Structure 1
Amino acid sequence: MSISTELTQTKAATGIEGLDDILAGGLSRGHVFLLEGEPGTGKTTVALQFLLAGARAGERSLYITLSETERELRQGALSHGWHMDENVHVFELTPPESLLNAEQQQTLLYSSDLELGEATRQIFEVVERIKPTRVVLDSLSEIRLLAQSSLRYRRQILAIKHYFVRYDATVLLLDDLTTESLDKTVHSVAHGVIRLEELTPNYGAERRRIRVVKYRGQKYRGGFHDFTIMADGVHVFPRLVAAEHRGIYTRQQLTSGIAEMDALLGGGIETGSSTLILGPAGTGKSLISMVFAAAAVTRGERAALFIFDEELGLLFDRMKHIGIDLQALKDTGNLLIEQVDAAELSPGEFSHRVRRCVDQRDIKTVVIDSINGYQAAMPEENALVLHMHELLLYLNRQGAATFMTVAQHGLVGDMQAPVDITYLADTVILLRYFEALGKVRRAISIIKKRTGSHESTIREYRISAQGMTIGEPLDAFQGVLRGVPTYLGADSPLLADEVR
């Protein structure tokens, strides 16, 4: 989303690129915002990045902590490689010594009355002394406990809000939701509310996501967005909305370098289209996608492979044995290969990786091998088709040719795919095993192609050390796609056995 210069000047950038994109530039200056989430979701890390972004811009920042010590905060910052300079002040709010001494505690007044008043006084005093433009208050749970009642708590939050507004400070209130999580007092008072969530799948790393619940007077990017906490801080991956990205390109036809394959496809695959390669395990789905990627690099274009299912060393060796040297293609600088760990990667981060490659490196051929692995990256999500729809539409609008593989369950006969995205793809290549003359053979056919004509025939193909060989149409066979065909002709059209 493009933000005008005039607009960004009225915003306090959070220092997190993806979050600023979601917030249309950052947090509106001079307002109070709520950042809520259970312990461990990353609130402190986001808050520190917010203050450090201000310090880099020459602003004075203040972190008021009621729950962590200053030493803990500075150690947490150092774990990300951050050094809090003189523009980032930390104020550790502690109760007065009289409240820690049991012999001096008041008996006629509730101690909470004294503690709340003392805490507020200390907050106001440090703000008067430092005069910050960015403030973090961590956390509201402590103030809620001191207030003891919803009425006193609301009055206290309103007092804090009005006080900071006078100083034109941008304030981030942190709430760890450990007490009365259903209390929406601050939601109604705050100018904006950002919520962090952590999900724990049955297997694999935890998944974190962020959502803007409320932002007064500002259009923001709604819904959930994936984010991760890395060594250098929080990274937010805004949900991909393909409608926001429109590229200008000339549609061209890409060939595979195999004449029979190109004939099946009516000449080749068009740029700005998606191709799904469908078939059981071992039929050569990865090989066909690699053939198109290798042809692109040979033409001097750039291609990217995102490999979910296979270890790269094994893939390199296997492809080299059938005539495709991926290492040599990679060494040209025009082939990018990324190993994707489905157990550690969120769908939003994967979309971000693909988008970054296409945008920054002008890649025009993208291979995703396989959709089965992509589905494994979101075991508890029901939106795989929607994710794929946005990603494919985005790639199409950038003029990229996308190749995806899906492994079907079973080997012959009636087979099912774990997810049906055939209607999303512009071209569908179907691979099958079939038995003939006492041998297991392979067949290829084009089920659909939106961008032009194609052959409706079924051809046999063979994978050998010379690569992929495609034979003549199997006109004399009936029932090839069922796996056990009936031979109706006089002369066998099958590929001859190789001479070894």
Structure 2
Amino acid sequence: MIDKVKIQRLPTGVPGLDELLGGGIPEYSFNLLAGTPGSGKTTMAHQMMFSLAGPDRRALFFTVLGEPPLKMLRYQQQFPFFDISKVNQSIKFVNLAADLLDGDFDRVLARIADEVRDFSPSLVFVDSFRSVVQSAQGMDRGAAGLQHFVQQLGMQMTSWLATTFLIGEYLAPEAESSPVFTVADGIIWMSQLVHRDALVRKIQVVKMRGQAQSLGVHTFRISDSGVEIFPRAVLRAAVTEVSIAGHQRLSMGVPELDRMMGGGVPAGYSLLLVGPSGSGKSVLATQFLAEGVSKGEAGVIAAFEKSPNQLLSHHLNELIENGHVGVINTRTLDLSIDEILHDLVAMIERMQAKRVVIDSLSGFELALAPSFRDDFRESLYRMVAVLTAMGVTVLMTAELEDRYEMLRFSSYGNAFLADAIIMQRYVELEGQLKRVISVIKVRASDHSKEIRFFDITAAGLVVGEPATQYAGMLTGRPVAAAAPASAPD
């Protein structure tokens, strides 16, 4: 039996891209890096080239009718991946503009062949290949000549053991009939979309022969460090094998509330804490994290309504400064769920955190780019599923409107996401607003059905007496009748 040919996969050096490709770029493959103008194709090509190029793997970068090499390099060298010591050593730039102006594909192919033969590269980039296509449309040989050129180029690069990238501007992958789409072993599509006042960049692996790529459209960002891709959150089969030990409970940091929940929140659960503004949701979330730290469990907080230096209390800030609680930077707007989840998972794994707080879901939604808000519930479901499958216990806060005439258990219809729900409310007694708390559900566990008064003190949230003696409290109607001489605080 003949052994299978093993294809080496080259790491691209672009964060998140290898995961999309199924492990990296197949060596000696013929790839098309395409997309809309300004979507970051050239930047990602340079990021891959500088990451892969070295003394034993040299790279040739051909420019056609796009930017002149000097202008292109002026901007690309602003990124940290740019290594000037590799230019003219392991990386060489060649301008083919003069060769293509004559309209002779054979001459262009011969020039490429000469450069490849002289430099012996392992990587070849042609930018912008779209210029070749546009030139073909105005020539007598037209599409037939272009197809011959593409086939010859692909055959020669493969015979020279070169991994090739053709970079070009296209409007949509399915709208093009260019022969390069058929000949290419891999097609990576990049685009940018303006939705309202936000710019969202997306990437898709349309085709990658010989390996299973990640399906769907993913978001990416071009920062001062270059291109970073955030693969869509997908619950993998291996992750779903993590089981939730129902007998293991985590304390909320409030002993009486733990008793109401049947011994605390089960480890690996998602807990939704709902209530109106000022009812103490963030205070309880802080106690939840602090209780974990007291037992040697690191925590992570994504605070969407406050900057890191405004985080609620001196106690929480102290936990953060001491490195017991990590903070996700959420001050940048126009994020995607996958970008936030990427940062959360990275910090959870780095800190070995067991508790995560998302404060709050309404602030979370506002931090997203407008184009992601339509799928907020679906994306949030995927995020919670991934985090809880890691064995992390997630506490999410959500604000409810202050309405006496309406009793709701969650905002945005998100109650289905939670394994447990705690509700905080205001009630009116003898001209004063009092706070009450109740446990709405704890999945697969018995819990108290009581409504209890609570106060927020210097020590945190303290649960007091039951409120069952007050008629009308369950409906949220103002109560002024038959109150005892001293109502609980």
- TM-score when normalising by structure 2: 0.89
Question: Match for 1:472: what amino acid?
Answer: E
Shift of 1:135: 0.9
CA offset digits 1:166-200 (Å, max 9, x no partner) = 11211111111279983232222211111112122
Match of 1:463 in 2: 456
Distance 1:96 1:60 in 2: 23
Offset from partner CA, 1:446-485 (integer Å, 9 cap, x none): 1111142111111121223342222211111243343215
- What is the identity, as a one-letter code, of the residue corresponding to 1:345? L
Distance 1:492 1:359 in 2: 54
Give the aligned partner of residue 16 of structure 1.
14
The one of 219, 223, 228 equivalent to 1:226 is: 219
- Select which of 328, 337, 342 maps to 1:338: 328
Counterpart residue identity of residue 363, structure 2: G
Q: What CA distance in whole angstroms lies between the structure 1 residues aligned with 2:295 and 2:417?
A: 28
**Equivalent position SS for 2:36:** coil
Contact 2:272 2:418 in 1 (8 A): yes
| Aligned counterpart, 2:468 | 475
Contact 2:7 2:27 in 1 (8 A): no
Task: Tell me which residue corresponds to 1:242.
Answer: 235
Q: Structure 1 residue 249: deviation in Å?
A: 7.8
Of residues 383-392 and 29-38 in structure 1, the stretch that sits farther from structure 2 once superposed is: 383-392
State the alpha-carbon separation in 2 of the partners of residues 358 and 7 from structure 1: 39
String of CA shifts for 1:53-74, please: whole Å, max 9, x gaps. 2214830111111112221232
Residue pairs, 1:123-142, within 5 angstroms: 123-142=112-131
SS in 2 for 1:339: coil
CA gap 1:260/1:485 in 2 versus in 1, 3 angstroms: farther
Partner of 1:253: 249
Matched, 1:384 2:381: no
* Structure 2 CA distance for partners of 1:72 and 1:269, relative to 1, 3 Å: same
Residue correspondence of structure 1 range 292-441 to structure 2 within 5 A: 292-316=288-312, 319-320=313-314, 325-341=315-331, 343-376=333-366, 377-381=368-372, 382-414=374-406, 418-441=411-434
Equivalent residue of 1:419, what SS? Answer: coil
* 1:192 and 2:186 matched: yes
Once the two structures are TM-superposed, the CA of residue 437 in structure 1 deviates from its matched residue by 1.1
Q: Distance in 1 between matches of 2:245 and 2:48?
A: 42
- Cα gap change, 1:210/1:310 in structure 2, threshold over 3 Å: closer, same or farther? same
Instruction: State how many pairs are aligned.
Output: 470
SS in 2 for 1:95: helix
Report the CA distance shift for 1:179/1:370 in structure 2 as closer, same or farther (over 3 A).
Answer: closer
Please tell me whether residue 153 in structure 1 is matched to residue 182 in structure 2: no
Tell me by how many angstroms 1:337 deviates: 2.1
Report the equivalent of 1:104: none
Verify the 8 A CA contact 2:173 2:189 in the aligned structure 1.
no
Q: Aligned partners of 2:6 and 2:429: how far apart in 1?
A: 68
Q: Does 1:265 align with 2:261?
A: yes
Which residue of structure 2 aligns with residue 40 of structure 1? 38
More displaced stretch, 436-445 vs 476-485: 476-485
Mark the runs of 5 or more structure 1 residues left unpaired by the alignment: 1-5, 100-110
Q: Percent identity?
A: 28
Q: Is the 8 A contact 1:77 1:83 kept in 2?
A: no
**Structure 2: segments with no counterpart, 5+ residues:** none
Which residue in 2 is equivalent to 1:453?
446
2:334 touches 2:369 (CA, 8 Å); kept in 1?
no
Change (3 A) 1:17 1:126: same
- Partner Cα separation in structure 2 for residue 380 and residue 330 of structure 1: 33
Q: Structure 1: how far apart are the matches of 2:150 and 2:99?
A: 21
Structure 1 65/422 Cα, relative in aligned 2: closer, same or farther at 3 Å? same
Give the CA RMSD over aligned residues. Answer: 2.6
Cα deviation 1:131-158 (Å, max 9, x = unaligned): 2111111112110121113333223222
Structure 1 403/228 Cα, relative in aligned 2: closer, same or farther at 3 Å?
A: same
Q: 2:98 aligns with which of 75, 95, 98?
A: 95
Q: 197, 202, 225: which one pairs with 1:203? A: 197
1:201 aligned partner, one-letter code: H
Decide whether the 8 Å contact of 2:275 with 2:399 is kept in 1. Answer: yes
Q: Assess, with a 3 A threshold, how the Cα gap between structure 1 residues 60 and 248 changes in structure 2: closer, same or farther.
A: farther
What's the counterpart of residue 52 of structure 2?
A: 54
> After superposition, where does 1:141-180 map in structure 2 within 5 Å?
141-148=130-137, 149-177=142-170
Which amino acid letter does the alignment assign opposite residue 239 of structure 1?
R
The offset of 1:343, in angstroms, is 1.2
Displacement, 1:335?
1.3
- Is the Cα–Cα contact under 8 Å of residues 460 and 494 in structure 1 kept in the other structure? no
Query: Residues 30 and 165 of structure 1 are in contact (CA less than 8 Å); yes or no, is this contact kept in structure 2?
Result: yes
Counterpart-to-counterpart distance in 1, 2:433 and 2:42: 60
Deviation at 1:256, TM superposition (A): 2.5
Q: 1:314-336: CA deviations, max 9, x gaps?
A: 334xx24xxxx122222332111
Going from structure 1 to structure 2, the CA distance change for 1:410 and 1:8 (only over 3 Å counts) comes to farther
Cα distance, 1:367 vs structure 2: 0.3
Q: CA deviation at 1:219?
A: 0.9
Normalised by the length of structure 1, the TM-score is 0.87
One-letter amino acid of the structure 1 residue matched with residue 16 of structure 2: G
Go from structure 1 to structure 2 and tell me whether the alpha carbon gap of 1:126 and 1:56 turns closer, same or farther (over 3 Å shift).
closer
Residue by residue over 1:182-236, the C-alpha shift from the partner in whole angstroms, topping out at 9 and shown as x without a partner, is: 32322222111111121223234x2212111112232111111221112222111
Q: Which moved more, 1:470-479 or 1:260-269?
A: 470-479
**Quick one: structure 1 residues 358 and 247, their matched pair in 2 at CA, closer, same or farther if it must change by over 3 Å?**
farther
Q: Aligned equivalents of 1:366 and 1:326: distance in 2?
A: 14
After TM superposition, give the deviation of residue 297 of structure 1 in Å.
Answer: 1.2
Q: Which moved more, 1:400-409 or 1:372-381?
A: 372-381
